[in-house]
Each structure stands twice: as structure tokens, then as C-alpha cells.
Amino acid sequence: QQQVKQSPQSLIVQKGGIPIINCAYENTAFDYFPWYQQFPGKGPALLIAIRPDVSEKKEGRFTISFNKSAKQFSLHIMDSQPGDSATYFCAASRGFGNEKLTFGTGTRLTIIP
């Protein structure tokens, strides 16, 4: 049973554009929603995370938008660069991140110059 659905599977954006990756969750007990970035041969690295008591969080060029009623959240990357080309995973957990993470299936992002 997949509890976190992620789309699109792959995305190609021109440099400077704003890629948007979407996730939807089913379990209303989830209370912590991080995004991870993974480069080939490396483990995932935490980018940014949000709790459901806020609708938006921004860190540098990365923004999470959160819609609690729709059980959806998304990642926006401002002024995207070729170095942002990676696979991005959304995830969710209970216990404000203290418990296990349930990951989406990933989005392979390519930023073309």
C-alpha cells in the first residue's frame, strides 16, 4: 500500500525555470513532511521540511507549499540550475519526524542550460 504518491516521475526544465513536484498522502496521522535530494551513488540528503500547522516554508531557493485539507504538498525550486539535476523524494512521518519515513517514488529532475 503506497501511502505517499509523487508526481511527475520525471521532469525537464530549462535553467532559471521553476520545477514543481507534487505529493499526496493518505494517512492523516502524518505530521512531518520532508523533501530529500539524491544524486547518483549517494544517499538522500534533507532539503527542507514542513509541519502541517503552516501552509508554506521557504529555505533559499526551495519552497514547500502544504494543503492540509487536500492532503497534498509540493516542492518548488526557484531559479533552477543545472546543479539541481537530481532525484527528489517527498516523504512523511508521524511523531514530528521521530518515527519512520514513508517515501514517495521519486522525481528525476533535469535542468537543461
Partner 1 sequence: DTGVSQNPRHKITKRGQNVTFRCDPISEHNRLYWYRQTLGQGPEFLTYFQNEAQLEKSRLLSDRFSAERPKGSFSTLEIQRTEQGDSAMYLCASSQGGANYGYTFGSGTRLTVV
Residues that bind partner 1 (CB under 8 A): 4, 6, 32, 34, 36, 41-46, 49, 51, 89, 91, 95-106
3-state class (DSSP) for residue 16: coil
Q: DSSP string covering 18-40, please?
A: --EEEEEE--TT--BEEEEEE-T
CB of 83 to partner 1, least distance (A): 19
Give the position of cell 514543481.
Answer: 20
Nearer to partner 1, 11 or 17 (CB): 11
Nearer to partner 1, 16 or 95 (CB): 95
CB of 94 to partner 1, least distance (A): 11
CB of 9 to partner 1, least distance (A): 9
Nearer to partner 1, 42 or 113 (CB): 42
CB of 81 to partner 1, least distance (A): 23
Contacts of 44 by beta carbon, 8 Å cutoff, 6+ apart: 36, 37, 38, 89
Peptide bond into 44 cis (omega under 30): no
